[in-house]
Amino acid sequence: MPNILLSTKCMGNCPFCFAKKNDFLKSDKEMMTLDDVEKLIPFCRGERIQIFGGEPTLNPEIIDIIDLLQLNNFPINILTNLMGEKEVYEEMIKRRGLGYLINIHGSEYCDDDELKDKFLENIELFKCNKMAVSFGCTVYSKDQDFSYLYKLIEDSKKSGLIYHLRISPSVPTQSNEFMMPSEEIGDKMLELVESVHKINPKILLQMDCSCFNYCMASEETYKRLKGSIRDLDFSHRCDMRPIEIFPDFSALYCYCLKDIEELRVDNIFDFKNIHDLMDYFESKTHLFESEISTQCDYANCDKLECKGPCLAFNYFFLNNKGKKKRKKNS
């Protein structure tokens, strides 16, 4: 699935963000233009498009880009922190058939009161237009307070705004905050899941990217989580085939694996189409995955092999082994 990065800029400051640094990019280009997207149309034909960033609503051509993609019959998901201009979201809402995934943490960790007000104003805009959207929540600390999310869910219960919540542990890079793989992650996720269902049992809960590893929950916690969350399976490798396409037409297999040169390409148009590029990345990923499975000892795990599906977790700990400074269960 191609994720088109319309802007590398973001007004948020999420502590767990794995996209804080784009120092692997060889270009300073910050925005994808309408002309750029027009070039992508034949390349990405037949795929669902995810528009993301950075924050995509910072791209001044976003509405024209959406119109162009819809004209060419692309299903579209938009990942946003909902802190953009109200007028942009008003125009989006007029375009039927768009999917939304809203990062609730953008406004939670923002120090700008004006941006926080924009988030709340845009929440009301979506409610007034009887929208039903997905929200995303990241677990990155054993001391994390979810009261901000709980209030949003409570306030949105009557309107039905939040029908779907995507949950994941923070995937580690060298520049973000995350929890070391341990049963504390599963405990924290269970706390979140059970609290959300007490507030609104109708909300559909789902794993984001299936990034949940074997050592992240006790057997009991895993059973309780599996009864509540879709796509929770230790043995299920990541099958989303994510392709992150940047404004300079370079691409990554997965943002969290940006340090692996074999999983990056400088120019997507060296390939015939998105399926050709996916197949290339898939072949590289299989080699990479087999390397990891033969070396597994990444978190001093007492299991013979890692049964978790997230390559980014496994790679990070194999190549750090506790020697590099990182925040541990902050």
Give, in order, the Cα–Cα distances in Å from 164 to each of 128, 134, 229, 239: 18, 5, 11, 20
Question: CA-to-CA distance for 83 and 106, rounded, in angstroms?
Answer: 8
Burial 97-130 (b: 16+ CB within 10 A, else e): ebebbbbbbbbbebeeeebeebbeebbebbeeee
Please give the domain boundaries of the chain with CATH numbers for all domains: 2-318 (3.20.20.70)
pLDDT tens, position by position, 201-219: 999 999 887 667 777 888 8
Phi then psi for residue 53, to 5 deg, are -150, -145
Determine the average pLDDT of the residues in 182-210: 90
Q: What is the pLDDT of residue 285?
A: 81
Q: What is the pLDDT of residue 320?
A: 61
**Averaged confidence pLDDT in the chain:** 85
Q: What is the pLDDT of residue 259?
A: 78
Q: Is the pLDDT of residue 179 over 80?
A: no
Q: Which residue has the higher pLDDT, 132 or 307?
A: 132
pLDDT tens, position by position, 90-106: 999 999 999 999 998 88
